[in-house]
Amino acid sequence: MKKIGIVLRYSNLKDGRDILYLGDMIRRTIQKAGGFIIPIVQVQDVNYNSTRWNEFDELLEDEKEIVEEYLNMVDGVIFPGGFKLTPYDKYVLNRCVELDKRVLGICLGMQLLCSYDRNFKVEKNNSNINHYQDNDDDLTHRIKIKKNTKLYEILKKEEIEVNSFHNYHVAEPTEGLVINATSEDNNIEGVELKDKTFIMGIQWHPEISYDFDENSKKIIDYFIKVCGK
């Protein structure tokens, strides 16, 4: 069984208490696909919700060692969607790139991948394409997939429909990334890192549409499969 690390996300409860969480939909999907989930828990003694990006200290050596222990335990890492990124996310991603660890970035995770060696920057969506649908049961817009990319190799299609749950998009990815998919309004919908076994980010949520969309299932299943190589 492939061991899949999932980086926890940040939120708070209605009573104000802060939590780290793993979304239930991605838990269920990865388990259906045959993955054994290992949560990658944040290691710094800070409040990840309230601390601003530029207020984080560098990881201490013993904190970095904990990250290494997590990465030694897993065959691949998922950076899921969410509402906030921190330097910790960026550090874990950088180590994954250095180790050629298999990576799937979803929505916010794709945006993290787009900026892994530069400052994180996104722009608010401004088009007539619906990029934030109001339910989990539909696919909402089409994307174009470029040939000669890993994504095309997986799907064997130049155009598919996807779901969409994001208010912001990446204007320009970091150097070394290949844009493998774009939306009808030319927003970046997918990227992959050259010269690595499998480091890919996609703007949509295949874990949400895994049960009813063959393309979403192919992406998740391929990721789990390649984690065993």
**Which one is predicted more confidently, 121 or 145?**
145
**3-class secondary structure per residue, 183-220:** ECCCCEEEEEECCCCCEEEECCCCCCCCCCCHHHHHHH
Share of the chain above pLDDT 90, in %: 75
Residue at 151: amino acid letter: L
Residue 94's pLDDT band (cuts 50, 70, 90): very high
What pLDDT is recorded for position 95? 97
Q: What is the pLDDT of residues 135-193, one digit of tens each?
A: 888 999 899 999 999 999 999 999 999 998 876 777 777 778 999 999 998 899 999 99
pTM for the predicted model, two decimal places? 0.94
* CA separation for the pair 165, 60 (Å, rounded): 35
CATH H superfamily, domain 2-226: Class I glutamine amidotransferase (GATase) domain (3.40.50.880)
User: Beta strand pairing status for 2-7 and 35-40?
Assistant: parallel
